[in-house]
C-alpha cells in the first residue's frame, strides 16, 4: 500500500538533546512538509520541500532542521535550540499542483 | 496574509442528522484552494474534500459536501446522515499562494451521539 510512514510514534527528549523524526513516503510525491500541532490548535508549518536537495522554512522553523537527500525521505531534527518542543508532529506529501496533501500518523514528542 | 477562521470550537449532532461546520477565509489572491480534513483521536489527518476558487459547482464526496460562497468568503462543510464514526476534529485549510503550503484553522470538534 502506498502511504506515508512516520517513526517513532512516541519520542522522548532530554534537555539539551537533538532528536530526529523520520518521514518516508512511497507515493512518488515531489513535495513534502512538516507540521507541528499543539493541543487545541491547528497545524503550523515548520519546513517544506518541493524537490530533492531543496527546502524552505515555514512559519515556525526556529529550532528545527531538515534534509531532503532522497525523494522518499524528509527527516526532521528537533534541536536543543527549540525550547518548547512538546507537540504532535505531522509529516505530509503531495504532488505538485492542486492535489491534496496526504499525512502520516504523526509522532508525539515529549520532554523528559 | 491568508487566514482561516473556524468559530465553532465544538458541535453536537445526533446520529443520522446533517451538520454544518463553518469556515471563513481571508485572501487577496484570486486563485486559491480550500480543503477539509478530519482528525480522529488517533491523530492522523484524513483528507475529505477540496474546492478550487474557480470551480463553478460545490464539491461533493459521498456524505460530504462543501457549501462554497465566494462573495462571503465561506466554505462550510456539510456532513449528511451523521455516523458515530464521524466524531472527530475537523480542520478547514487554504492552499497558500504560489505553492501547496496549507494554512489551517483551529478546528471544530464534532461529537455524534446515538
Q: Which residue has the cell 507515493?
A: A27
Residue A21 contacts residue A78 (beta carbons within 8 Å)? yes
- Which residues of chain A lie closer than 8 angstroms to B46, CB-CB? 103
Interchain CB contact of A100 with B (< 8 Å): yes
**Average pLDDT of the residues in B40-44:** 92
Selected for mutation to probe chain A from B4, B102, B105, B108 (highest A CB count within 10 Å) is B102
- pLDDT on residue B79: 98
Asked if B100 lies within 8 A of A102 by C-beta distance, the reply is no
For the segment B58-80, what is each residue's pLDDT rounded down to a tens digit? 999 999 999 999 999 999 999 99
- Which residues of chain B lie closer than 8 angstroms to A105, CB-CB? 42-44
Phi/psi of residue A101, each to 5°? -85, 140
| Beta strand B88-95 pairing with A76-78 | unpaired
Q: Which of B47, B52, B107 sits opposite A102 (nearest CB)?
A: B47
Q: Give the best-scoring range by mean pLDDT among A2-6, A69-73, A81-85.
A: A69-73
Dihedral sign of CA atoms A52, A54, A58, A64 in order: positive
Asked if B47 lies within 8 A of A92 by C-beta distance, the reply is no
Nearest residue to B25 via CA among B3, B6, B10, B9: B3
CB atoms inside a 10 Å sphere around CB B26: 12
Interchain CB contact of A11 with B (< 8 Å): no
- pLDDT on residue A98: 64
Selected for mutation to probe chain B from A10, A31, A43 (highest B CB count within 10 Å) is A43
**Cis geometry, peptide bond prior to residue A8 (ω within 30 degrees of 0):** yes
Dihedral sign of CA atoms A3, A54, A100, A28 in order: negative
Confidence band (pLDDT; 50, 70, 90) for A83?
confident
Amino acid at each position: 500500500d502506498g502511504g506515508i510512514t512516520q517513526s517513532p510514534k512516541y519520542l522522548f527528549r532530554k534537555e539539551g538533546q537533538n532528536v530526529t523524526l523520520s518521514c518516508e513516503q512511497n507515493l512518488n510525491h515531489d513535495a513534502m512538509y512538516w507540521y507541528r500541532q499543539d493541543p487545541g490548535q491547528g497545524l503550523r508549518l515548520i519546513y517544506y520541500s518541493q524537490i530533492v536537495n531543496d527546502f524552505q522554512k515555514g512559519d515556525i522553523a526556529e529550532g528545527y532542521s531538515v534534509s531532503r537527500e532522497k525523494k522518499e525521505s524528509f527527516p526532521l531534527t528537533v534541536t536543543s535550540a527549540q525550547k518548547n518542543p512538546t507537540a504532535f508532529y505531522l509529516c505530509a506529501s503531495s504532488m505538485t499542483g492542486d492535489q491534496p496533501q496526504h499525512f502520516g500518523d504523526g509522532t508525539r514528542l515529549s520532554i523528559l | 496574509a491568508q487566514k482561516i477562521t473556524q468559530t465553532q470550537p465544538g458541535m453536537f449532532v445526533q446520529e443520522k442528522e446533517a451538520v454544518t461546520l463553518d469556515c471563513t477565509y481571508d485572501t487577496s489572491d484570486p486563485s486559491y484552494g480550500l480543503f477539509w480534513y478530519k482528525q480522529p483521536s488517533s491523530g492522523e489527518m484524513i483528507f475529505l474534500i477540496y474546492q478550487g476558487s474557480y470551480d463553478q459547482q460545490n464539491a461533493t464526496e459521498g456524505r460530504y459536501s462543501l457549501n462554497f460562497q465566494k462573495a462571503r468568503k465561506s466554505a462550510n462543510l456539510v456532513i449528511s446522515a451523521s455516523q458515530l464514526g464521524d466524531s472527530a476534529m475537523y480542520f478547514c485549510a487554504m492552499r497558500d499562494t504560489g505553492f501547496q503550503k496549507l494554512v489551517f484553522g483551529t478546528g471544530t470538534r464534532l461529537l455524534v451521539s446515538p
